[in-house]
Amino acid sequence: MNDNTVLGFGNTGATPDVEISWDTDSFNILSQAIDQPMEIGAVGTGFDITYFFETAGQFRTDYDADFINLTDDMELRLGTGASNDGDIKVSSNSSNVLQIEQVVLDTGTIEVGVTDRDIPFKWWAETAGDFALFTGDTLQLEDVDIALGDGTKILYGDTIGTGDFSVESTSAVLTYLQVASDTGEIVYGLSGTDIPIKWFAETAADWVYFNVDEVEFEDVILQMMDDTAIEFGDGDDASIQYDENGTDSLQITGQVSGLRRVTETVIANDTLTTAESGKVFVVLNDTDGISLTLPAVGAGDNGVWFTIIDANAVAASDITMEPDTGDSISSGAANEGFSSDGADKIPCVATFIYNHAETTWYVEVKELDTGTAAWAPDGS
């Protein structure tokens, strides 16, 4: 058939329904009415079709296997683009890498779904049952890791490209940063709904634990460096620091009316413990015979001491201090008690300090005012 010769199908020779022709530079199949169906093959009698390109690439359909195939490096282009070259191209190369690229660099975007009409997207991992799923407003990771290279940041905040905060790991150092200095804060939990945090130390079973309203230290040292202060009070009322640059001493400064020891009131017989070392025990009992037993002091417990105040208001209401088995108190014999003499009503004070080498409690006695009360071994 020569150029522009028409092969017609249907209706009449003068006005066929479908025309096929060659018009000197293109092959045309035309329908004389719009929106007419065109079928190639039928169910059970389809064709395998191969379309050859200028290079080695092919576009083909496989009837038996039910697929359409673009061979390596053949591009499927979407959009008009410049000179009908498309906007986005999709291809697979000889290394089995699926590539989605822009035809013109830095133009176009990829969107899945439309606003408020999400398309759930599931990406299966190598291990059975593991996946990443974006659905609704949630990204779910099921046994899937996110691996960020050294110096790669996670940015938080509405400002695209910088955010308000960043998290990154560089040279094995995890860093939390503010984009703008002195802005924002990091909050754990909500008021009244704490999140317990446990931070393990290098030594096994050692940790710092923030739980409820307490910070617990398990064999962990809280070390304040030189000239670093611990401050007390809502208005930084007082502070403690070691002054390395000045007097090389521990300093307590601020609105301090006095350094107060922990005080406990005693009204009945009791046994003291080394954990209570440094306490002041005020004995208030108007009946005679209150007895306090001093603890057994182990070799590693150094500087164990107690202060006892006989504050009884009634004469002859004595206090008796009893040593642990084998220990002595002041000049008394081993296992001998040590008592206050309350013949008058004037309070008196005694501080008991343990000496390991001599297994003896040494006593410093102070009498208030001019009373006759005294502390001494009582022969018990």
Its pTM stands at 0.52
Tell me: do 350 and 288 sit in the same domain: yes
In a domain, 196, yes or no: yes
- What is the span of the domain harbouring residue 193? 187-220
pLDDT digits (tens, 9 = 90+) for 138-148: 999 999 999 99
Q: What is the CATH number of the domain that holds 353?
A: 2.60.120.640
The percentage of the chain sitting over the pLDDT mark of 90, rounded to a whole number, equals: 39
pLDDT digits (tens, 9 = 90+) for 36-67: 888 888 888 888 888 888 877 888 888 888 88
What does DSSP say about strands 207-211 and 328-329: parallel, antiparallel, or unpaired? unpaired
Given a cut of 90, is residue 310 above it in pLDDT?
Answer: no
Tell me: do 289 and 356 sit in the same domain: yes
Given a cut of 80, is residue 213 above it in pLDDT?
Answer: yes
In a domain, 155, yes or no: yes
Given a cut of 60, is residue 373 above it in pLDDT?
Answer: no
| pLDDT (average), residues 222-236 | 87
Structure tokens, 222: 């809280």
| pLDDT (average), residues 235-258 | 71
| Residue 22 CB burial class (10 angstroms; 0-12, 13-18, ≥19) | middle
Tell me: do 305 and 199 sit in the same domain: no
Residues pairing with 22 in the sheet: 27
In a domain, 201, yes or no: yes
Kindly indicate the confidence band of residue 167, based on its pLDDT and cuts at 50, 70 and 90. very high
Per the structure, the count of domains in the chain is 5
Tell me: do 280 and 337 sit in the same domain: yes
Tell me: do 280 and 330 sit in the same domain: yes
Concatenated DSSP letters of 277-345: TT-EEEE--SSS-EEEEPPP--TT--S-EEEEEE---STT--EEEEPPTT-EETTSPTT--EEE--SSS
